[in-house]
Structure formats: structure tokens, C-alpha cells
Amino acid sequence: MWMLTRYLPVAPLSLKPAAATSSGGKTLLTMTPYALKMALLDVAIRTLGITEGERLFPLLRDLMLSVALPEDILVFKGFSKSWRPVESKESQKKDETREDFEARLHEKLADKFDKGQYPFYSTIAYREYVYYRDSFQLALAAPTEALLSEELSRLLTGVNYLGKRGGFIQLVETPRLVDHLPDASFIDLTQDEPHTFRADGVLQMLDDCGKSLTFQRANIYNQERLTLGKDRIIRHIVLPYRLIRSSRGYSHYQRIMEET
């Protein structure tokens, strides 16, 4: 049993992989299971409260996710100007007193302030944004049908962005239950078993929730550390898309049609 729904992006999406830095990194072509599950958890906490969100977390963590993307995917590339807070990497020298170290640090910060570079300094960052020319479908399967028919449907209607904030999406089809996925265009993003894939497809490294991930570790305001490879795992998924055109400013991917 699957919960099926459809969204239409109303703004370009920024879907950076887990290994990307704040100053750069290529975008993914699809959302990650981890990002979607955290979006559902966010809706649960905002609408039902943190206690209810903690109760639903194990069910959201174990969801299976399939996605049907549009036939064409465009990636726009560019640089943007940004402001970053000044972070001192100075350390106290071996023969330096604490007072001398603080005085030297204060002098450097004062110099940055005189140059207009404190408390923030200007820099540039590489950015990529994904544009879908059409809507996309999500299909979710849960351990229990009770979650599918009740809470999950309400949570899906509350999701309005994916990836970084500003990647807004609009629900265009009410979530509904289906026995089977409607066609072969759906891509399983949470598959564990070895599977066949197209050698000419596009490899994506998508993060997902591990079985050991707890609500406390998923909570960014909690001091418990999240371990990559255990609490947050990486899935290697090959999307059936081919790069057909590219330049300095964009890349155009098109779905590989099955030969009949």
C-alpha cells in the first residue's frame, strides 16, 4: 500500500548533498529521503506539537520513498554574494601570555572593523538550482497502514518546501492510497537490496535515516552527535536521466526512455 501525492515546484530548488560545504557544492537532481522525512517531522512538530512529533518520528524514519520526476530537469549554475561572520582562527603562542594574546586578537579585529569587515565580511559562493518543468509525484509506504491513512496524509499537505529554505513547492493533488505504483517512472530512493541500474544514468548520493537514528539525535538543538554511516546513511541511487546539453550557466538532463 502506497500513499501517493503530487507537488509542483513554484521556485527553483537547492538540493545540496550531505558532503557539500556552505560555499559550494553541486546540487542533487532529486530530494533525499532524509530531507523529506525531516520536512514531515517539521510539519508534525509545528501542527501537532513536539510530543506528537517525537511519537511519530520512528514511523517517519522508516518510511519507504519512491519519486516520479519530470521528463526534463534543468540545473542553473552561478555565483552569489554572501556575508559570513568573522571567526578568529588565532591561537595563543607558546611564549605568549594570555593578556598579550587577547591584545593581539583585539588589534586584528579592530583592523577588520576599520575596513568594514567586522562582524561580517563579504565573499562569494557557488550555487546550483534545480528547475522542474512539470510537477513530480511522491509515493510513501509505511510499516503500518494506520499511519498511511491518518497522520501521513495530513503531514503531506503541510509540506511546502524541500531542500534549502526558499525551494517552495505547492501541493496539487490530494494524497490518496493505492495498492501499486501507477507506472514504471517511479524511482525507489530507499532501496537496500542490490538492484539493476542503467550504466548511462546519473549517480546520486542521497542521505537517509538509519535504523539507529533517534529523535534526540535528529534534533539540531540537542547536543547528541549524529554519526554519518550509522544514524545518517548514504544511498547510491542511479537516476534514469542523461545529460543532453550543458554550458557554463546550465545543464539539461532528460529522462532515458525505455526502448520497446
pLDDT in tens, 152-207: 899 999 999 887 777 899 999 999 989 888 888 899 999 876 677 778 899 999 99
> Do 114 and 214 share a structural domain?
no
- Please give the C-alpha separations between residue 239 and each of 2, 8, 159, in angstroms, as whole numbers: 21, 20, 24
> Do 198 and 159 share a structural domain?
yes
> Do 245 and 148 share a structural domain?
yes
Distance CA 75, CA 131 (A): 6
- Please give the C-alpha separations between residue 158 and each of 30, 169, 172, 214, in angstroms, as whole numbers: 19, 10, 12, 23
pLDDT computed for residue 252 by the predictor: 95
**Within a domain: 144:** yes
Number of Cβ atoms within 10 Å of the Cβ of 146: 11
Please report, in angstroms and rounded to a whole number, the separation of the first and last CA atoms in the chain. Answer: 29
pLDDT computed for residue 20 by the predictor: 75
Per-residue pLDDT of the chain (260 residues; tens, 9 = 90+): 899 999 999 988 888 887 777 677 788 999 999 999 999 999 999 999 999 999 999 999 999 999 999 999 999 998 888 777 777 777 778 888 888 888 888 888 787 777 777 778 778 888 899 999 899 999 999 877 666 677 889 999 999 988 777 789 999 999 998 988 888 889 999 987 667 777 889 999 999 999 999 999 888 888 888 888 888 999 999 999 999 999 999 999 999 987 54
**Within a domain: 188:** yes
Distance CA 241, CA 260 (A): 17
> Do 94 and 145 share a structural domain?
no
> Do 146 and 63 share a structural domain?
yes
Domain-ending residue, one of 124, 142, 157: 124
Pairing label, strands 250-255, 241-246: antiparallel
Domain count, the chain: 2
**Within a domain: 260:** no
The percent helix, strand, coil of the chain (3-state, each to 5) is 25, 35, 40
**Within a domain: 139:** yes
**Within a domain: 138:** yes
Q: Are 2 and 138 in contact (CB under 8 A)?
A: no
> Do 232 and 248 share a structural domain?
yes
> Do 15 and 90 share a structural domain?
no
> Do 57 and 43 share a structural domain?
yes
**Within a domain: 112:** yes
> Do 115 and 133 share a structural domain?
no
Length of the chain: 260
> Do 107 and 209 share a structural domain?
no
> Do 149 and 114 share a structural domain?
no
Distance CA 8, CA 46 (A): 22
What are the φ and ψ backbone dihedral angles of 14, each rounded to 5 degrees? -115, 105
Domain-ending residue, one of 97, 124, 151: 124
pLDDT computed for residue 14 by the predictor: 86
Range of the domain at 100: 80-124
pLDDT computed for residue 146 by the predictor: 65
> Do 173 and 117 share a structural domain?
no
pLDDT computed for residue 47 by the predictor: 92
CATH code assigned at 147:
3.30.70
pLDDT computed for residue 260 by the predictor: 46
pLDDT computed for residue 139 by the predictor: 94
pTM score over 0.75 = yes
Domain-ending residue, one of 124, 151, 185: 124
